[in-house]
Chains A and B, each alone.
Chain A
Amino acid sequence: MTSAELRAEVEDFLYREARFADEFLLEEWEALLTDDFHYWVPAGRLEGDPSKQLAYLNDNRARVATRIRQLQTGKRLSQLPNSPMRRVISNIEIESTDDEEALVKANFVIYELAAQSSGELRVWPGQAQYRLERVEGNLRMSAKWIELVTAHAGQRNLTFLI
């Protein structure tokens, strides 16, 4: 596979993953994950051992399943109704790669409307780091790590898929 082909495939994946998250297509989003998926939003930089730190979010595969189940109960107050939201992804860098695994960095900005309470428009800027693996021919996500620009500053409710 040429690097241009791989880049096109990675970009397709990232945009699809972003749209599933924005639109609360939870099953579709979950289907993009490998069995050992790790989801991490630290309260600082993406460095050090996640297991030794206290993070905003640090989900292994089982916990991310719980997160999705909770959203699917129809009783998740902080997402009733779901936040209208859209994210923009750019500055995509594919760091090291063979055809089986790609480490990808991208900048993002999410615009989220707190439709459940104050109606505030919330802006979430940061960098996402993805580890993508090829499973039976298709790309899957085995890690998504998020470094928020506001990581040290505390956060509003973060109950959507970031």
Chain B
Amino acid sequence: MKVDYRELVHTDRVHGSLLHDPEIFADEMERIFVQGWVFVGHESEVKNDGDWVKRQLGNESVIMVRAENGEVNVLANRCSHRGTALCWEHKGNTAFFQCTYHNWRFGLDGGLRAVPFPDGYSKPKEDLGLDRAGQIASYRGFVFVNLDGSAGWIDEHLGPAGYELIDRLCEMSPSGTIDLSKGWIGHRVQSNWKLWPESDSDGYHVGFVHASMSASTDTYYDDVAVGADAVKSSRAVDYGRGHLELDWRPSYKKELSWLGVTRERVKEYYSALAQRVGNDLAEQMLWDGPPHAFLFPNLFLGETVIAIVEPVAPGEMIHHHTSVQFDGADEAFNERLLRQTEAAVGPASFITTDDAITAERIQAGVSGTDTSWSSTSRGWIDLSRGLHREEIDEDGVRSSDASDETTNRGFWYRYLDAMTGKGRH
């Protein structure tokens, strides 16, 4: 049966079957993860020629590799002979990829270099290279791919907001560049992948799901996301294209609140930053902090953390995260970012563990919803909060109180476009 997504995604509500139906999951892997732009990794993970990392994009295993000419390629992790996966480790360095079945050898651009007993082939070698990503784009080290090459160009996908959010993070580095090579940590959750764009950009739950954090430690989330004042001053923003932000900036009560320190403790970082951007801008950045934003469909810019959402099955996903490291910042500062990351995000953290349990409870709740779609009265998820007070500016950017579901709706608007082929070329 062909799913009619317009029946399942409405402005004020979406149907629970979107979170557990296998047919829908299969459609998503094709329409979002193959036909659309997705984040794959960061150039700092493959600094040297021959460095590679393995990534899972929906159903596809891919290799991101830096070739001898310095270019970053994204190749299918699948031998073009009979389909054997080429890489098993998470990362490595190599001069070529060699399949272990019949020893075909591929260059770092995916081209077939050598086969044993070549006289058995009359096909040209050029026809037998690895599948490559149809489109690849890199911005300030963030590498995006569109596997089938059919999505529009990257500017249409990221839009001005996508670029601005990445800029806002990278500009906080004394050198203007960030490093994401400390490794990705996987958090395995028994939930649908779409509950993470939701959780990562939901401003309504913080005071409830994370009450144990507020009760046991001094956290800046109390100022920006807990209680009636905070959820009014902070903003939930939908930039369009599925790019979302919880904008804490209006709520911070002191500079460096997002890092939980005084300037005295990070003097070296501040002076290195001010040297490049000047004192006024550096002061402003200390107040504003890095963005808390989600870029459709799988990239979370979580302040000093970056996360990738990886779907595994309708009720299974992995939230991978790493710590932002600022090139040009002193070692103590970057270690502080590592410790902050360990506290906030991941399987043993103080924060996203409670998001994980919430996602698993949602999954348990919605898994019983009807997939015959015969009844429209049952199994809906309400997303109407703040619809009546949301503001739209001249660029179409929607914003509202941080506790409003503007961000959640923004995800689903983009989702519906992706699933119905709207805006595709």
* Chain A residues within 8 Å of B, Cβ to Cβ: 41, 43-44, 51-58, 63, 66-67, 69-78, 114, 116-118, 120, 152-159, 162
Q: How far is the CB of B183 from chain A (nearest CB, A)?
A: 6
A117 to B186, CA, bound (A): 19
B356 touches A67 (CB 8 A): no
Q: How far is the CB of A65 from chain B (nearest CB, A)?
A: 9
A77 to B357, CA, bound (A): 7
CB contact under 8 A between A78 and B354, given known A54-B183, A56-B347, A155-B347 = yes
CB contact under 8 A between A120 and B190, given known A43-B185, A77-B209 = yes
Cβ 8 A contact of A73, one of B185, B212, B318, B353: B212
B346 touches A56 (CB 8 A): yes
A43 to B185, CA, bound (A): 7
Question: What would be 24 A-B contacts, judged by CB atoms less than 8 Å apart?
Answer: A43-B185, A44-B183, A52-B338, A54-B182, A54-B323, A66-B216, A67-B350, A69-B217, A70-B350, A71-B212, A73-B211, A73-B212, A73-B215, A78-B353, A118-B364, A152-B90, A154-B320, A154-B347, A155-B186, A155-B188, A157-B189, A157-B347, A158-B347, A159-B353
Find chain A residues with CB under 8 A from B360 CB.
114, 116-118
A58 touches B342 (CB 8 A): yes
Cβ 8 A contact of B212, one of A52, A54, A75, A120: A75
Q: How far is the CB of A29 from chain B (nearest CB, A)?
A: 16
Find chain A residues with CB under 8 A from B189 CB.
156-157
A117 touches B361 (CB 8 A): yes
Find chain B residues with CB under 8 A from A63 CB.
343
**Which residues 195-212 of B sit at the A interface, judged by CB distance below 8 A?**
209, 211-212
Find chain A residues with CB under 8 A from B186 CB.
153-155
Find chain A residues with CB under 8 A from B190 CB.
117-118, 120
Besides A70-B217, A152-B90, 16 new A-B residue pairs in contact (Cβ under 8 A), listed by A number: A54-B182, A55-B185, A56-B346, A66-B216, A73-B215, A73-B216, A76-B354, A117-B190, A117-B357, A118-B363, A154-B186, A155-B186, A156-B347, A157-B353, A158-B347, A159-B348
Q: Which residue on B lies nearest to A69, using beta carbons?
A: B216
A69 to B218, CA, bound (A): 12
A133 to B23, CA, bound (A): 58
A162 to B347, CA, bound (A): 12
A162 to B190, CA, bound (A): 21
Bitwise interface map of B from 355 to 368 toward A, beta carbon under 8 Å scored 1, else 0: 01110110110000
Find chain B residues with CB under 8 A from A117 CB.
190, 357, 360-361, 364
Q: Which residue on A lies nearest to B310, using beta carbons?
A: A154
Q: How far is the CB of B299 from chain A (nearest CB, A)?
A: 18
Listed residue (B90, B318, B339) with the most chain A CB atoms within 10 angstroms of its CB: B339
The 8 A-B pairs of least Cβ separation, nearest first, read: A154-B186, A117-B360, A57-B348, A155-B347, A75-B212, A69-B216, A70-B216, A76-B212
A78 to B323, CA, bound (A): 23
A78 to B358, CA, bound (A): 8
Find chain A residues with CB under 8 A from B346 CB.
56
A18 to B364, CA, bound (A): 31
Q: How far is the CB of A117 from chain B (nearest CB, A)?
A: 4
B357 touches A78 (CB 8 A): yes
Q: How far is the CB of A123 from chain B (nearest CB, A)?
A: 13
**B341 contacts chain A at the CB level, 8 A cutoff:** yes
